[in-house]
């Protein structure tokens, strides 16, 4: 259950590794309560067992060709993978400006860029591609994905930051529908094993600051 920080308008839920569909069910319940005003804005931080999820714009050829199951979800974006070694964040918050969903996404991007920068990873945002990226002579590499749903003035779904996952899972799909890009991780970029435990508090701090700026 979410644990509220003192004097914080955002409650935090640290759920460890949790099945995707179970987490989705919890999200829906929390979303309903935030929308009706019976629960504070909540940020869920967790990991999932390996799972492919497909947003509303996913095309058939972007799915696994080997018959691996895919969960179709009601968020924006295309297909992606979640699994151990990846921090998944679900900010379920009422937006102060109900018309500025793009601004909310940009704040999340900025927060994740700040996390990467704190670990000396030169991540950036590109207007033509959502999420957080590295771009150099090695090509475009995505280190964090973002896909949200916005209903009743409240957000759900969210972001996934690759810390130290098995990146070969992404080889089975066209991640985020971008055939000319690859997935990367903090560990891959730094050439050392970066742990979830050292990154979680940094994510919590920067994402909290972002949500405080946009939530009602």
Catalytic residue among 79, 167, 176, 181: 176
- Exposed e or buried b for every residue in 50-60, given b needs 16+ CB within 10 A? ebbbbbeebee
Instruction: Please check whether residue 132 is in contact with residue 142, taking contact to mean a CB–CB distance below 8 angstroms.
Output: yes
Angle (CA) 55 60 64, round 5°: 85
Neighbours of 211 (CB within 10 A): 25
Q: Please check whether residue 72 is in contact with residue 21, taking contact to mean a CB–CB distance below 8 angstroms.
A: no
The backbone torsions φ and ψ at residue 57, rounded to the nearest 5 degrees and listed phi first, read -95, 10
For 95-102, which contacts have Cβ atoms below 8 Å and span 24 or more sequence positions? Answer: 95/150, 95/153, 95/154, 95/155, 95/214, 95/215, 95/216, 96/214, 96/215, 96/216, 97/214, 98/153, 100/214, 101/148, 101/150, 101/155
Q: Please state the separation of Cα 144 from the chain's center in Å.
A: 7
127 tagged catalytic: no
Q: Which residues are catalytic?
A: 176
């Amino acid at each position: 259950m979410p644990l509220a920080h003192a004097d914080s308008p955002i409650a935090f839920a640290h759920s460890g590794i949790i099945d995707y569909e179970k987490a989705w069910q919890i999200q829906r319940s929390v979303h309903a309560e935030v929308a009706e005003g019976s629960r504070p804005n909540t940020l869920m931080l967790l990991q999932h067992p390996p799972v492919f999820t497909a947003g509303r714009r996913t095309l058939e050829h972007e799915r696994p060709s080997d018959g691996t199951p895919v969960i179709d979800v009601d968020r924006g974006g295309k297909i992606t993978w979640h699994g151990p070694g990846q921090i998944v964040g679900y900010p379920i918050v009422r937006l102060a400006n109900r018309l500025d969903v793009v601004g909310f996404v940009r704040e999340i991007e900025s927060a994740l860029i700040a996390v990467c920068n704190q670990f000396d990873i030169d991540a950036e945002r590109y207007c033509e591609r959502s999420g957080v990226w590295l771009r150099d002579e090695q090509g475009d590499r995505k280190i964090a994905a973002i896909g949200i749903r916005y209903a009743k003035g409240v957000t759900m779904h969210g972001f996934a930051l690759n810390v130290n996952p098995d990146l070969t899972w992404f080889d089975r799909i066209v991640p985020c529908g971008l055939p000319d890009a690859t997935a990367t991780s903090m560990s891959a970029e730094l050439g050392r094993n970066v742990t979830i435990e050292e990154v979680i508090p940094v994510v919590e701090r920067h994402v909290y600051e972002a949500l405080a700026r946009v939530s009602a």
